[in-house]
Amino acid sequence: MAFEGSTAVVTGGAGGLGRAFCEELGRRRARVLVADIDREGAEETARRVRTLGGEAWVERCDVRAPAEVEALARRADELFGRTDLLVNNAGVAVGGPVGEVTLEDWRWQIDINLWGVIYGCHFWVPRMKEQKRGHILNVASAAGLLCPPQLGPYNIAKAGVVALSETLHAEVGKEGIRVTALCPTFFLTGIADAARGANGDAALAAAKRIMERSKVQAPDVARAALASVARGELYCLPMRVGRMSWRLKRALPGGFYKLLSRFGDERGIHRLLRSPQ
């Protein structure tokens, strides 16, 4: 797809990767509806989009609430008449061993990271079918492909996003609709600051250090994802360590999980491979 003059809806657009998506779309002269529960942050994102040459509007949306996601779709209809690109980006993180993570945190994780994407697809797919075109970019994670220990709620939500993307790819491709699952590894966003779970401060600090050291950061991830959208690709794995790990898992699934058991979690993958991003 071409981005200049296109219309896009981005959830979780107030900061982090969502803001990076909006800014990159602004550089490409797109028209963007920025959605987030943080209206003030979304307004700042919209200002940046306009400064970069795009057009932007803001809508408050809690992706846990289907009525609010449906209202967001209606707002896009009012503004644009169509949606060329839907970016299901809003997400949070929960870590910790199964049995120790509270059920409340499990529910919070699944409600936002999986149900939020399901709602987006549910309300936009019929619209895109009617217009006979469109692209859905679902922000998953390499964790949804690799499922490392200590990240059960996050893994399961993101694996569901990958499965949904694959399912949709097979269902709607013949109708002119494309789907991309974005699966990055660690990079710096605000997701760790709001993380919940039972992993403890030391694990969170270690994850933040890896995020900060990554050579691929949010603007790079956004550019890589939009390049995959332009090419109509189903999978986007912007980090080398993610691509290498996924290949290893597919080649030696049993051996891969023995290594994970030894090295502990997804951070152990980085230590194991010791490869640049």
pLDDT at 208: 56
33 forms beta bridges with 9, 57
pLDDT digits (tens, 9 = 90+) for 167-192: 999 999 999 999 999 999 875 466 65
What are the start-end ranges of the H helices in 37-99? Answer: 39-51, 66-80
d(CA 33, CA 46) in angstroms, rounded, equals 8
Distance, CA of 91 to chain centre: 7
Whole-model pTM: value is: 0.89
- Enumerate the active-site residues: 154
Distance of CA 172 to the CA centre of its chain: 20
What Rg value do the Cα atoms of the chain yield, rounded? 18
Rounded distance between C-alpha atoms, residue 19 and residue 45, angstroms: 6
Q: Could you give the CA distance from residue 64 to residue 60 in angstroms, rounded to a whole number?
A: 12
DSSP 8-state secondary structure symbol assigned to residue 194: T
Find all residues with CB under 8 Å of 91, minimum gap 6, and list them: 12, 112, 113, 116, 139, 191
CA dihedral (82, 183, 48, 119) positive or negative: positive
Q: Kindly tell me if the per-residue pLDDT of 199 is higher than 80.
A: no
Average of per-residue pLDDT across 22-27: 98
137 CB contacts (<8 Å, ≥6 apart)? Answer: 85, 86, 87, 88, 89, 179, 180, 182, 225, 229
What digits encode the pLDDT tens for the residues 232-247? 999 999 999 899 999 9
DSSP code at position 15: S
| pLDDT interval class at 8 (50, 70, 90) | very high
Question: What's CA 135's distance to the chain center, in Å?
Answer: 14
Name every residue whose Cβ is closer than 8 Å to that of residue 111 and which is 6 or more positions away in sequence.
64
Which range, of 95-99, 101-105, 223-227, 230-234, averages the lowest pLDDT? 95-99
Token pair of 251 as six digits: 């080649």
Which helix H or strand E contains 219, and what residues bound it? Answer: helix 218-231
What is the residue type of 176?
Answer: G
